[in-house]
Structure 1
Amino acid sequence: MRVVLFFDGKNFYAGWKDQAHGRDVDFKKLSQWVVRAVGGTHLMGAYYYTGVDDSLPRTPGQEKLDGFLDMLAQEPGFFVQRFAQRNRTHVCSQCQAPHTFSQEKEVDTTIVADMLRLGAVGGFDIAVLVSGDADLTPAVEGVRSLGKQVYVASWGQSGLSSRIRRAAFDHVDLMQGLPEFARGAGDFARPANDHQFGSATPAAQVSNDPEAYVQACFEEIKRAQATMPGGYIGAHFFVTKWRSSILPELVDLRRRALDLLVERGQAEVYLTDDGIQAVRLKG
């Protein structure tokens, strides 16, 4: 049975923060667990939709979200769609206090359209909508009318509307799978699998000590500066494609080590003359 996942990013994040208390998630393992939970055999794709604030200057929060979405887009089978948030201001009729909020209506309409389009062309046998938003109920009902099974998944009951739950074939509680796809503290320095990309650096024993791992990141940036044309390495390239036997293959682990170096003032991310975001050591 072929399975496709549709993530409502805002709803997914809110439930994760509220119920999972921000525990780090391995999205590859999460998708595999969901496929098994609905009786599927093959993941045909995982689509992640979210609104982003594209205003300038960029805030640390925006940069962090961009980094997460870049990482997720590198996962096999994951496809990330970003939409501009539209900020609205509402003035309370009683106290006259302004309240600013963001709308992501384009996210909802695109999820509905993609679910119906893929369902109509036989792109899946089972659809899993990772959201409890009642506004997406028409998508569930529409795909079900095509003879497909549609599950809704959420973090416990957080954000799960009764309307969308009634429309779905069944509910998948992500909290039940959290012990399987959450990363433990030791995973900071654990390779994603037993295979490491080859490199000119001799193979090293990877430690479960985050400090040792940050040091490995430091050494790899130093090596990159000495070997890359122009004397610099693109930050995105370093995190996603730089070959190393002492850095993990998993993108978010590399990014975390790099972030620590930047926070400690040992490295910096900067713009080159040709507009590339690059990384280099300081001092």
Structure 2
Amino acid sequence: MTPNPGERTALFIDGANLYSAARALNADLDFRKLLELYRGDGVLVRAYYYTAVVEGEEFSPLKPLVDWLDYNGFSVVTKPVKRFTDAEGRSRTKGNMDIEIAVDMLELAPRLDHAVLFSGDGDFRRLVEAVQAKGVRVTVVSTLKSQPPQIADELRRQADAFVELADLLPDIGRPRTSGGVGLPRDDRS
């Protein structure tokens, strides 16, 4: 779960997926505590947070979180949400960050001992396998304790280690708020 002494670690957080998993557990996360947990005794090379954003909105509930993360040591990777009309004529949005996560993890792999992926998306199984082939240990953080489980079985089996998000909540959770965005109490310290 936490890095070994001297181990070079990077966090890759699929924001939408982690939000869904935390929500399924009726929990909010404290990203400052999460960062501190993974700094531990190891060397935290980078902490990425990936999310799609809606452009042109006056206010987005995601903006305060993205700003806080960017200001407090996370490398925030965003891209605009795409709007489209489905076959039934309904307006839909799409904001998949899988390619960005895959490219960054593969590019950083030669400088890592340990990659921690916060996602349960089964599409990442092949990415985990490719990163492992480069000699990097991969831990996946998600949850089996929700209904339905948020972790794809094939991803969990491919990872070197699986960490149950519910088991991390005593260390990185915080009291549930109505907003649920995960900001620490004092916004920019």
- Asked if Structure 1 and Structure 2 have the same fold, meaning a TM-score greater than 0.5 normalized by the shorter chain, the answer is yes
Quick one: which of 54, 61, 65 aligns to 2:62?
A: 65
Give the residue type in structure 2 aligned to 1:11.
N
Deviations 1:148-173 (A, max 9, x none): 11111113453211121121111011
Give the residue type in structure 2 aligned to 1:108.
D
Quick one: which of 76, 89, 109 aligns to 2:99?
A: 109
Give the secondary structure class of the aligned counterpart of 1:253: coil
Distance 2:46 2:169 in 1: 21
RMSD: 2.3
Matched-pair contact (CA < 8 Å) for 1:9–1:49: yes
Give the secondary structure class of the aligned counterpart of 2:20: helix
Distance 2:173 2:101 in 1: 26
Question: Residue in 1 aligned with 2:77?
Answer: 81
Greater relative contact order (Cα < 8 A, sep 6+): 2
Q: Does 1:30 align with 2:21?
A: no
Matched-pair contact (CA < 8 Å) for 2:120–2:143: no
Quick one: which of 10, 16, 32 aligns to 1:4?
A: 10
* Higher-Rg member (1/2): 1
Q: Would the alpha carbon gap of residues 156 and 73 (structure 1) be closer, same or farther in structure 2, given more than 3 Å must change? A: farther
Q: Would the alpha carbon gap of residues 182 and 2 (structure 1) be closer, same or farther in structure 2, given more than 3 Å must change? A: same
Report 1:114-263 matches (<5 A).
114-120=104-110, 122=111, 124-157=112-145, 158-184=149-175, 252-255=184-187
Identity %: 31
The count of corresponding residues between Structure 1 and Structure 2 is 173
**Higher strand fraction (1 or 2):** 2
Runs of 5+ unmatched residues, structure 1:
93-97, 186-250, 256-283
Report the CA distance between 1:101 and its aligned residue.
2.8
Deviations 1:127-160 (A, max 9, x none): 0110011122222111011011111111345321
Matched-pair contact (CA < 8 Å) for 2:121–2:152: yes
Q: Would the alpha carbon gap of residues 89 and 118 (structure 1) be closer, same or farther in structure 2, given more than 3 Å must change? A: same
Distance 1:183 1:163 in 2: 30
Distance 2:117 2:109 in 1: 13
Question: Residue in 1 aligned with 2:179?
Answer: none
Report the CA distance between 1:26 and its aligned residue.
2.0
Report the CA distance between 1:116 and its aligned residue.
0.6
Question: Residue in 2 aligned with 1:50?
Answer: 51
Give the secondary structure class of the aligned counterpart of 1:101: strand
Give the secondary structure class of the aligned counterpart of 2:11: strand
Question: Residue in 2 aligned with 1:191?
Answer: none
Deviations 1:170-203 (A, max 9, x none): 1011211212222348xxxxxxxxxxxxxxxxxx
Report the CA distance between 1:34 and its aligned residue.
4.8
Give the secondary structure class of the aligned counterpart of 1:44: strand
Distance 2:39 2:185 in 1: 25
Question: Residue in 1 aligned with 2:4?
Answer: none
Superposed structure 1 runs of 4+ greater than 6 Å apart: none
Q: Does 1:17 align with 2:23?
A: yes
Distance 1:22 1:101 in 2: 27
